[in-house]
Each structure stands twice: as structure tokens, then as C-alpha cells.
Amino acid sequence: MERMQRTSVVIIGAGPSGSVASAILKQHDIDCVILERSTFPRFSIGESLLPACMESLKKANMFEAVNQGGFQFKNGAAFRYQNQYTHFDFTQKYSDGEGTTFQVPRGPFDKLLADEAQKQGVPIRYQHTVTQVDVERDKPCLTVTDEVGVEYHIEADFILDASGYGRVLPRLLHLEQPSGLPPRIALFTHVTDNITPELASELNYDRNKITIYVHPDNQSVWYWLIPFTHGRCSVGVVGSPEFFEDYPQDEIAALKQLTREEPHLKLLFRDAEFCHMSGKIGGYSANVKHLATDNYALLGNAGEFLDPVFSSGVTIAMKSAEMAAETLIRKFNGEQVDWQKEYAEPLMVGVNTFRAYVEGWYDSRFQDVVFYENANPEIKKKISSILAGYAWDTTNPYVASPEKRLKTLAELCRNG
Ligand code: FAD
């Protein structure tokens, strides 16, 4: 392999943002190569998709493949707190676009997207790790270690950093900034749930929805229950580091105790078999000084990551991929592009919408809205749109002014 190589666009990482961006670029005959540190399939957290990401998959020509992928159908989100239950049906939403999606083990899902990108002609170099970057030169250049440990350099017109939690450019270029959100920890595992149709019906449990449980004694702690096919599901708990101090060090033991503390989950999991694999991830909320310059852009989690509560991560990752690819297409067509105005600012519209509702979730204003019993159907559709991932649709007033609208709505719900 040449020690000094050249291409138009180098993409770091073959997760959803990298695969989607590469496919859109390839459709416009822009040469790109993906450098991926792992081999696929590999585990990743982030298993519940939002319908809005199906729109990005259409642009990447991956929609059909995902529809045929045999994943668990999803049409909404259910919420439980003590004896309260509510749900949002994503087909009942204000914005145009798909109203259903899937819940996916990320190993096979990310591999499917990467394979689709390869079928469209994108070269993916697995086990190639980016170790250094030089963006001071005329053309940015990466230092890469290949699968046998040999180092080489690759120069490009533009770099897309889709490295997720690897956060390659933010780390190497010292772009990282503290997140405004307090540190939280997520503890998770996969379970053979043994939830029979009879039990599901008895307990009013809908497998076509993600269920978010609020801890009965602590409103800032929540659980996800993400069903997959074949009777498996993902379960996780998110709370402050202090909250977990009172639970066993053994992650599976802690998760078993926590699931028994939630009355509905306790019944639902009466025959569940926990697997031995568990994970713990903390300090995942992250921010950066800027999202793009004239020679690189940060996609998905390599840029900003907020919080998992509304399953927005993959949707933001794919939307950023779509927006960056479209901006690059204009650049390669000879147009003058302003990355701040044409990429970073439009992307932040959706990120900031989610941020308002995430903050509202933890200070309980949005929980009051979610569990409000006499919801106005038109308002509910607008909230459903955001929960379905249509957080860039500024014709929705709850997107156009999320903070102001949420404040008013929460007050109305609190006062009945
Ligand atoms: P990734 O999917 O992380 O892919 C990045 C790729 O880059 C990886 O394959 C990695 O191997 C590669 N890479 C890293 N470093 C290098 C390097 N140096 N060189 C080469 N390659 C490299 N999102 C949802 O949508 N739904 C959810 O239900 C959800 N739940 C979550 C729960 C928790 C607890 C957390 C923390 C997050 C959750 N997320 C969820 C967010 C989701 O995990 C991410 O937003 C999503 O995976 C981002 O995709 P990506 O393409 O940006 O990066």
C-alpha cells in the first residue's frame, strides 16, 4: 500500500453517519473512502431508531434494505411512571414523513448499512485506525495504522469525522468542550424476555413501541425497554453516578435489582433470562468548539451528543451525514459554501430542539406534559412529531421555539 495516498473525501468511521454520508456522496460521483477501526459486526449502544431517520436512509438508497432487514417494527413510544401510562403513536404526527421504523441490535444493523454503502461502490477499510490529523496544510491529511500495523498517510479535499464516541478530530484538534448537561451513567444488558402474547396483553405491553419507565422513587432516573425480534430485548437504566452508588457493583445484579423496583417491569420480566453481557457507559454527553471548517466536518456523536432519553442519537447522526454530504456536493460543484451557515447552524436547529425537551425531561416539565391526561390532540401530534425525530421541521411551533412553547405547555398541564 502506498505510504501517501489521495482521495476527495475521507470518512472516519463506518457507523450510521459514515455509511449514510458515503452513499450520498458516491451517488454524486464524489470519491470517498471510509476508514473503520473495528471489524463488523461490532457492538454499539443506541438500538431504538426514530421514523425520521428512515428519510435519511431513503436519500442513501438504504431504505429498502433496512425494511427487508428483519428488524423489530416500531411505531411509537410508551411511558410509564408509577401507575400512569401514556403512549405516542408516531403515525399520528404533525410533520410529513415516515411514521414507523425499527428497533435494531446495532451489530447487524450497522453492518447492513456498511454493506449497502460498499454495494454502492464505497471502499471501506476495516481495522484501519486514524491516529493523527494535520489540518494546517493546503489539503488535510490523516495518519492511519492498517490491519497489520503499518502506518500510512491519506490526503483529501475534505474530512468527515464520523467516529462516534471515538471523537477523533475533537480529541486530536482539542475541540472538546464540556457538555452543559450533568454527567449521567447508563447501565444496560440484553435479555431473553420470555414475554408471551398473553402476558403482554394482561399487562398492556406493546412490543411495537419502546417503553420508557420513570423510576418510581426518583424522577430523574429512567429505564429503556427496547424489544428486538426473537424474544430478545435491550434494557438499560440511566441515572446520576451517585444514584448507582447504592446498587451492587456487579452490573447484572444491579440491573436485576433495578428492574424489580419498577412494578410493571417486575411483572413483565417475571420469566426473563438476563444474559451475561452488560455494559456501563458514562460521561457520554459531549460538546465541541465548532462543528465544521473549510476542510473538515464533525458528524453524529463526533460532534455533539446530548442524552439517550428520546433515542435521538442515530437520527441526529444520519441527519448530520445527509446535511454534510449535501453541503459537500455543492462544494464539489464549485459553489462557495459557508460551513457554519449551511451545515452547523441548520444541524443545530434539531439538536437544540432535542436539548430543550431533554432538559425539560430531567427538570420534570416535559414529564408533566407526557403524562398529562387531557392532552389536546393537535398539540400531541406536534409533540409526537418531535419524538418521531422531526426536530428540524420549523413549521412545527414546538420546534420553532422549543423552550418558550415547552414552558407554556408545562404550565398549562400543571394547572390542569
Ligand atoms: P458510531 O455508531 O459510534 O460509529 C463510529 C465508528 O467509528 C465506530 O464503528 C468506531 O469503531 C469508528 N472509529 C472510532 N474511532 C476511530 C478511529 N480512530 N479510526 C477509525 N475508526 C474509528 N441513539 C439512538 O438513536 N437510539 C437509542 O436508543 C440510543 N440509545 C443510547 C443509549 C446510550 C446509553 C447512549 C450513550 C447512546 C444512545 N444512543 C442512541 C446514541 C447512539 O449510540 C449514537 O448517537 C450513534 O451510535 C452515533 O452514530 P455515529 O455514526 O455517529 O457513530
Q: Which domains does the chain have, with CATH numbers?
A: 4-72+103-178+286-351 (3.50.50.60), 185-282 (3.30.9.100), 357-414 (no CATH)
* Ligand 1 contact via 48 beta carbon (within 6 Å): yes
Q: What is the pLDDT of residues 289-342, one digit of tens each?
A: 999 999 999 999 898 888 899 999 999 999 999 999 999 999 999 999 999 999
Atom of ligand 1 nearest to the CA of 50: 25
Q: Compute the residue count for the chain.
A: 416
* Ligand 1 contact via 51 beta carbon (within 6 Å): no
Whole-number percent of the chain with pLDDT over 90? 92
Residue 201, C-beta contacts closer than 8 angstroms, at least 6 positions apart: none
Contact (Cβ atoms closer than 8 angstroms) between residue 135 and residue 143? no
Residue 59, C-beta contacts closer than 8 angstroms, at least 6 positions apart: 20, 24, 322
Q: Whose CA is nearest to atom 3 of ligand 1?
A: 164
Q: Are strands 287-288 and 232-239 parallel, antiparallel or unpaired?
A: unpaired
What spacing in Å lies between the alpha carbon of 2 and ligand 1's midpoint?
Answer: 30
Q: What is the pLDDT of residues 29-65, one digit of tens each?
A: 999 999 999 999 999 999 999 999 999 999 999 999 9
Average pLDDT, stretch 188-214?
97
pLDDT at residue 2 above 70? no
Is pTM beyond 0.85? Reply is: yes
pLDDT at residue 283 above 90? no
pLDDT at residue 22 above 80? yes
Average pLDDT, stretch 349-366?
96
- Mean pLDDT over all residues of the chain? 96
Atom of ligand 1 nearest to the CA of 13: 7
Residue 131: predicted pLDDT: 98
* Ligand 1 contact via 162 beta carbon (within 6 Å): yes
What spacing in Å lies between the alpha carbon of 374 and ligand 1's midpoint?
Answer: 37
118: which 3 cell numbers?
Answer: 460498499
Atom of ligand 1 nearest to the CA of 299: 52
pLDDT at residue 367 above 70? yes
